[in-house]
Amino acid sequence: MNHSVNEFPEDIRFLALLHNIGAVSPERSLSIEEIVRWAGIDHWKVKEKLLKLKSERYVDTHVSDDIEKYYLTIDGIRKVLSIYS
């Protein structure tokens, strides 16, 4: 089954974006500003999505140099990979 990523809900596309830009571990986590640049959407919209996905345990945070950064959890990675199977 071959799907275009655009066929999936917005949250799944956002998780796929985080996966594709490599935010998959605390060491590779990204700040909201970095994610905004990649996503091309409003800062508050990114923050809202990240908080929702964090509450669903697909995203977690890591603090580096007093900056909160975000990355996919193993559940988030599995969710992204499930769209390709």
Phi-psi group of 63: left, alpha or beta (phi > 0 → left; psi -120 to 50 → alpha; rest → beta): beta
Residue ranges in 1-85 assigned as alpha helix (H): 10-20, 32-39, 43-55, 74-82
Whether the predicted pLDDT of 46 surpasses 80: yes
Average pLDDT on 52-80 reads 97
Whether the predicted pLDDT of 6 surpasses 70: no
Whether the predicted pLDDT of 50 surpasses 90: yes
| pLDDT, tens digit (0-9, with 9 covering 90-100), for 54-67 | 999 999 999 999 99
pLDDT of residue 1: 45
pLDDT of residue 85: 72
Radius of gyration (C-alpha) of the chain in whole angstroms: 12
Q: Which residue has the tokens 């769209």?
A: 83
| Domain architecture of the chain: domains with CATH | 7-82 (1.10.10.10)
